[in-house]
A = this chain, B = another copy of it.
Amino acid sequence: MLYPSKAQLRLWNRLGRSKIREEAGLFLAEGLKVVQALLESDWEVQALLTLEGGKEKRAAFLDRLPASLPCYGLTAGEWTGLTQDVSPEGIMAVGRIPPKPTLADMTAGADEGPLLLLHEIRNPGNLGALARSASWFGFSGMILGQGSVDPFNPKAIRASMGSLFSLPFVAGVNLQELIPMLKEEFLVAGSSARAGTLPHPCGGKAALLLGSESHGLPDSLLRMTDEQWHIPRKGAGESLSLPQAAAIMMYEIVREASPRG
Contacts and interface: CB of A to CB of B under 8 A. Distances in A.
Contacts of A198: 260
A86 to B, nearest CB: 10
A226 to B, nearest CB: 15
A135 B233 CA distance: 9
A27 interface: no
B241 A133 contact: yes
Given A240-B132, A244-B247, A248-B248, A235 B137 contact: yes
A240 B236 contact: no
Interface residues of A, number: 42
Q: Provide the main secondary structure of the chain A interface.
A: loop
A236 B166 contact: yes
Interface string A166-207: 110000000000000000000000000000001011000000
A166 B163 CA distance: 35
Interface of A: 33, 37, 113, 129, 132-139, 161-163, 166-167, 198, 200-201, 231, 233-241, 243-248, 251, 254, 257, 259-261
